[in-house]
Structure 1
């Protein structure tokens, strides 16, 4: 049984692009059986728009111009002009089609792209944390502390993978342990609440460190996430305790999402912070918090957790979709533009 009544195909080559606030990464998929061909990355600030970046970074790498573009952006996709949160670019798919001679442009959420990569991971793409085993053709979840806290599910239904992006990073995060109870009163609230992203992100990590410092009666202030991870490498007690609490809270939130979608296919950690705090994710605190979901501890012990080691997970997810679109059920409504629309509006 197929999830869709009709087949989807793309005109090749397909350009895939992961557009962040600082950098844009590009790759090409030449045909349905081709590997991902990396074209490089460039600073968004170095180009007036995405078309300019494609001309300079991608077109010199290929003799055949791309006919389709599949793009991942941070944030919602609404309308024909999609502004980036932390960059001056505005993604205008109809302008891209006109500028680059494309047949089609599709724009997806960045964590939707990360979810698209999950079924294809193997070998060194991921590093398992703790026990548990992947159950074939079962729900998966990706959670990524970076600038914010990204989250998306990948559901398997009717022989099809269905990515489900959302704003899960804004769920509530309250205290559980005695230590949490002592630290939480010192955490600065945002909008009258403490959400997961307010702690488990690049902006949230210094907020958590300030609370830990007050709790430990220490005169210590960290302004950036990098300063915290670097101090922890030198065994600074405030930084170490901050990352211990961070990892424990990340495990708790990851466990909540695993229960929500029954992610027997695994929970996958990505994002810019994750690779910088590996020792805190593998020292049992993360996994213990993940499994501490009474009365379902036995179930949680069977669900595996992984650190994603693939260098470009969003690009690989988009490339997987480009190669085999019928493997996935991706909502195209309001996120797909074709050359016919350019002709009609020209």
Structure 2
């Protein structure tokens, strides 16, 4: 068995699809290219020592269908035959999967590549438009995912293919712009003196921003859990929490607009991740979209780009399924990321 450098992405069905996060792993099986995906209950990563054990108990024990191939999206760098996961003790070892699970072919990609694949073909029922821009173009797109961290993925459309572009866009600099920002930013917790976007635009970032506002205003902080801040903001039962989520929406809009310009994302910008869905009522207000469009001298261009919140509950699995059904429609690099028996 050896790792192959091949662009032939056609896999034998049935195909096991897996989205492996830090806390939960989600699996489904595609019987063939036309079949509906069969979804399995979420697996808590802490409940199993290895991913192989989780697949045996969480999938194989619940169906007679035996996959011949697997496509996995993982939160972590893919470099070599052992792939450690971020925020989880599992190590993905494709060779072990080939030997122990009867699988012939394994492809492993980055979790935000899967999110990018998903936004190539999400239906109207799986997204909610934010703002009035609605022009549908088959053109480059961007996905941002504020959740445990801040993931960013690009989706370039070229030569009839969708090409996902992974990266570390969540770690670009975020700076103050308004007078209020200048009051708050000195109190934002930094990384070696730097305010990266992920210092604000994720779960712990909400708490970081809330505490900074409290310090700027000389008041005691009451909340340590992002869910508490979010719920009080949406219920309008705490003034500082309301401002926290308002500013969160503004900063998310600014970054989304920056990324739209970087990628020439005329096909739209999509917000995925757990926080986007939780704060949807706040994102429907004016702050996010106003900040997104406020990009002089190119505001007219930003006003034409649609923005969406992804509401599909299993977007990464959907993206991997789109790819598994029609690999020729996607320019997914499998070099160094595919293993075969």
Q: Taking structure 2 as the reference length, what is the TM-score of the superposition?
A: 0.95
Structure 2 gap segments, 5+ residues each: 1-5
Q: Deviations over 1:164-200 (max 9, x none)?
A: 0100000110011221122112212211110101110
What does residue range 24-173 of structure 1 map to in structure 2 within 5 Å? 24-173=25-174
1:7 Cα offset (Å): 5.1
What SS does the aligned partner of 1:25 have?
Answer: strand
What SS does the aligned partner of 2:190 have?
Answer: coil
The reply on whether 1:201 has 2:202 as its aligned counterpart is yes
Q: Taking structure 1 as the reference length, what is the TM-score of the superposition?
A: 0.94
- CA distance in structure 1 between the partners assigned to 2:106 and 2:43 by the alignment: 20
Partner of 1:298: 300
Q: Deviations over 1:301-338 (max 9, x none)?
A: 00000000000011111111111110101111111111
- CA distance in structure 2 between the partners assigned to 1:181 and 1:100 by the alignment: 56
Partner of 2:223: 222
1:15 Cα offset (Å): 0.3
- CA distance in structure 2 between the partners assigned to 1:82 and 1:230 by the alignment: 37
Partner of 1:266: 268
- CA distance in structure 2 between the partners assigned to 1:225 and 1:77 by the alignment: 30
What does residue range 181-330 of structure 1 map to in structure 2 within 5 Å? 181-235=182-236, 236-330=238-332
1:62 Cα offset (Å): 3.1
- CA distance in structure 1 between the partners assigned to 2:7 and 2:310 by the alignment: 33
- CA distance in structure 1 between the partners assigned to 2:292 and 2:234 by the alignment: 24
Partner of 1:342: none
- CA distance in structure 1 between the partners assigned to 2:294 and 2:81 by the alignment: 45
- CA distance in structure 2 between the partners assigned to 1:106 and 1:9 by the alignment: 11
1:203 Cα offset (Å): 1.8
Whether the 8 Å CA contact 1:209–1:221 is kept in 2: the answer is: no
1:217 Cα offset (Å): 2.2
Q: Deviations over 1:259-301 (max 9, x none)?
A: 1111111000011111111121111100000000000111100
- CA distance in structure 1 between the partners assigned to 2:137 and 2:309 by the alignment: 19
Partner of 2:3: none
Partner of 2:9: 8
What SS does the aligned partner of 2:119 have?
Answer: helix
What SS does the aligned partner of 1:330 have?
Answer: coil
What SS does the aligned partner of 1:66 have?
Answer: coil
Whether the 8 Å CA contact 1:106–1:337 is kept in 2: the answer is: yes
Q: Deviations over 1:213-258 (max 9, x none)?
A: 1122221242221121122234211111111110000000000000
Report the aligned-residue RMSD.
1.4
Whether the 8 Å CA contact 1:202–1:273 is kept in 2: the answer is: yes
1:6 Cα offset (Å): 7.0
